Structure 1
Amino acid sequence: MRFFTILVILTGLQLSTMAQQIGREIMLKVDEQTNLPDEYQEMEMVQISSNGKKMNRLLKMYIERKGENRNSLIVFTSPADIEGSAFLTIENDHREDDNWLYLPILRRSRRISSTDITDKFMGSDFTYEDLQEEDLGDFSYEYLGEATVAGKAAYKVEAIAATPKKKQETGYSKRVIYVDKASSLMVKIDYYSPKGQHIKTFEAGDIRPVAGTEKFRTYAMSMTDLQKDHKTELHFSTIQINNDFRSDMFSKRTLESGI
């Protein structure tokens, strides 16, 4: 009996290790698919309240990747009351990333620290944490099987914070990620609170190839807050690559002076 008990335990460990390896391989393909030297995006953000009321905003996003780091700048262009509001992220190798939020009405930038990343971004259903690029070194991944999302085959992967720093920072106990088999893009993410409650769902669709590359992008996204019955949609009108951004694009000076 003892032998069979040990055998069952060892078999379970082997299956768990294999599931983790498969999960990481799937996420490596996601990373490869999303990795481009730079991107420029234009989009509309639509916030939808529980009573159906909508608030529309226009914004543009600049992304630059240097090695393992990604810099990004999000700028709101409409409506007039938030025009010029911007959010800058500069990823660093050996220290905390630099995150700055600029609000024209205050005429100054505010640093977003690691303790603030669970806050909502500009009143949307996305938190600052949700805007961060997936750092595979911060999480453990486990393959959970296959699923169908919007009629398409997908892999199902569980992501849990693996480093002490990430465990302390994150607002989620786990995420269940659905990766489209054909494009290797994340098309759905279920977010769970520290108490294990399913609190938010991210969905993405309208997958198209990026001109001049073999990469794909989703041109429609949404984040739904299941507790507040509130939803934020993103509709992309433009995605461009190889933009040759100016050298000071991702700086606090550009953040505050405008582009």
Structure 2
Amino acid sequence: MPLASIVPLLICLLFALPCTEARADAAADGRAILERQRDLHETSSATSTVVMILADNTGNKKQREFKTWKKTMTDGLARTLMVFSAPADLAGTALLSWETEDALASQWLYMPSTGKMQRVASSSKADFFMGTDFTYEDMEPDDLEQYTMTLTGSADVDGQDCHVIEVVPANETKARESGYGKRVFYVRKDITFTVKIEYHDPRGRLVKVQTAHDLENVRGDMWIARKTLMNNLRAKHQTLMGLAAFAVDASIDDEVFTELYVTQGRALQ
């Protein structure tokens, strides 16, 4: 190879290799931060009572209440039950989620009017849940193995220094199932807690912004958000969720996460 060709090639290699390493480091750092967040703020079991307010751009508001139970089972996989208690026409409506070994969570919706549990199809994960601004996908736990997480820099959010991490599906199956092409997490550096998430559709357009408010130190390094706001920019609609009650390491029987428990209405007894 003539010298004239070797010199440009060496220059390209010198610049390309650091860039590749930088991207790898950014991905490793992004994953490490979100893994640390999970480890700090997760609990083996928890219960909560939540007040939800739905508001449109004309000022109309609707209020709902629901209860949640979450538990990590002996196999290390999480199960979650969410049951509406108010208003009366929604009471007993439930969403049951099971984390599975293939990392694709299974979900079932129960409507008292039908008396049956209906499996939520993977093709429906991008649908909005019960008129809120949260999709079924938003309601299931994130399996970090299904995503690529890249640390892209830092940003100020309400006076707090935050890591900025881009999260995208890591495989075609997850990309097809997800309603998002990318999510951007803003994680406070001091407590490793996500205070803002930007949701982008598959075409890269910003469609929703979720923010955490009234943070509370539950114990040790564990924090929770007393209020969570989802702002649907496309629909010009908002959903605000506020914790009325919250308990960690709660004693929850495994039967809570079964079809029989839900269909018998035992969650509201």
* TM-score, normalising length: structure 1: 0.95
- Rg larger for: 2
> What is residue 224 of structure 2 aligned with on the other side?
217
Distance across 1 between alignment mates of 2:99 and 2:93: 20
**Aligned partner letter, 2:250:** N
Distance 1:229 1:151 in 2: 26
Structure 1 CA distance, aligned partners of 2:247 and 2:69? 10
Note the residue ranges of structure 2 that are not aligned, 5 or more in a row: 1-7
> Which of structure 1's runs of 4+ aligned residues deviate more than 4 A?
none
Kept in 2: contact 1:210–1:239 (CA 8 A): no
Report what 1:233 is aligned to.
Answer: 240
Q: Percent identity?
A: 28
Distance 1:146 1:68 in 2: 33
Deviation at 1:21, TM superposition (A): 1.0
Equivalent residue number for residue 256 of structure 1: 263
Counterpart-to-counterpart distance in 1, 2:27 and 2:162 = 17
Q: CA deviation at 1:97?
A: 3.2
- 1:248 offset after TM fit, Å? 0.5
- Residue matched to 2:4: none
TM-score by length of 2: 0.92
Matched residue SS, 1:131: coil
Partner SS for 2:239: strand
Pick the aligned partner of 2:61 from 46, 49, 54: 54
Which residue in 2 is equivalent to 1:19? Answer: 26
Give how far 1:2 is off: 2.5
Q: Evaluate the alpha carbon distance shift between residue 95 and residue 209 of structure 1 in structure 2; reply closer, same or farther with a 3 A threshold.
A: closer
Q: Give distance in 1, aligned partners of 2:66 and 2:190.
A: 29
Please list every run of 5 or more consecutive structure 1 residues that lacks an aligned counterpart in the other structure: none
Which residue in 2 is equivalent to 1:185?
A: 193
Cα shift readout 1:5-61 (whole Å, capped 9, x = no counterpart): 221111211111111111111111111123211000111111010111110001111
Corresponding position of 1:31:
38
Determine helix, strand or coil for the equivalent of 1:167: helix
Q: How many residues align?
A: 258
CA-to-aligned-CA distance 1:118-165 (integer Å, 9 cap, x gap): 111111000010111121100011101111112211110000100232
